[in-house]
């Protein structure tokens, strides 16, 4: 999140979809007059730590986002797209509630990461969301990931909904090396997009 902050549009409102405890919103809160977080479950005790943030329990697969068109200057959606049933529906909603020239931070696991490719060659399902082998009932099949992405596929998905990729982030160790071949060397995909 630290690397993304300079590229996010500042302004009146920010939305974090899949906000969990609200820590990402707390980090960027000072750049906006209003901050809103939505998640499928309540994180009441953690949410109470951030009284200046509005939190809502909302299932993005069950209903549209409860906001007007072009309501937000910035939308954060990290580690969510791989979990929802309707990827296109969520992307449509992100585009709908994001103002023209607003920015979105999208982050998903990269199925093309070299370790995942090696797992496939070894006859195993890649672990993009679960750390144990074999998968267990407690964490679900691959941490309940329903969809898989590569950098090129996420770019195409963004374009479908008038979101132009402006920056690619490479957090963690050796970012300079990851920039050379991100589709193979980055375990996650972190894109900043702008609504056109």
Sign of the CA dihedral 21, 23, 28, 33?
positive
- On whether the pTM is more than 0.85, the answer is yes
pLDDT in tens, 62-89: 999 999 999 999 999 999 999 999 999 9
What is the rounded average pLDDT of the residues 158-168?
A: 97
What is the rounded average pLDDT of the residues 100-119?
A: 97
Q: Report the mean per-residue pLDDT for the chain.
A: 95
Q: State both tokens at 18.
A: 């899949």
Give DSSP secondary structure letters for 124-146: ----SS--SSS--TTT-GGGG--
How far is the C-alpha of 151 from the C-alpha of 145, rounded, in Å?
Answer: 17
Q: Domain 8-111+147-195 carries which CATH code?
A: 3.40.50.150
How far is the C-alpha of 132 from the C-alpha of 129, rounded, in Å?
Answer: 9
How far is the C-alpha of 136 from the C-alpha of 119, rounded, in Å?
Answer: 18
Distances (CA, A) of 13 to 72, 127, 175: 5, 35, 30
Q: State both tokens at 138.
A: 């407690």
Using alpha carbons, select from 190, 195, 196, 193 the residue that is nearest to residue 24.
190
Cβ atoms < 10 Å from Cβ of 18 = 19
């Amino acid at each position: 999140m630290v690397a993304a902050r300079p590229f996010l549009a500042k302004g009146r409102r920010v939305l974090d979809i899949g906000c969990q405890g609200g820590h990402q919103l707390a980090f960027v809160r000072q750049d906006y007059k209003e901050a809103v977080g939505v998640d499928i479950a309540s994180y009441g005790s953690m949410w109470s730590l951030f009284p200046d943030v509005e939190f809502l329990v909302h299932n993005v697969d069950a209903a549209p986002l409860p906001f007007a068109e072009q309501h937000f200057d910035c939308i954060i959606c990290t580690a969510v797209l791989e979990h929802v049933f309707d990827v296109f529906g969520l992307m449509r909603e992100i585009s709908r509630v994001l103002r023209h020239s607003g920015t979105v931070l999208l982050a998903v696991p990269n199925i093309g990461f070299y370790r995942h490719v090696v797992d496939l060659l070894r006859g195993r399902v890649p672990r993009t969301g679960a750390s144990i082998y074999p998968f267990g009932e407690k964490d679900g099949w691959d941490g309940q990931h329903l969809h898989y992405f590569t950098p090129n596929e996420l770019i195409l998905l963004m374009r479908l909904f008038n979101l132009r990729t402006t920056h690619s982030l490479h957090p963690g160790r050796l970012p300079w090396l990851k920039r050379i071949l991100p589709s193979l060397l980055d375990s996650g995909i972190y894109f900043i997009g702008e609504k056109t």
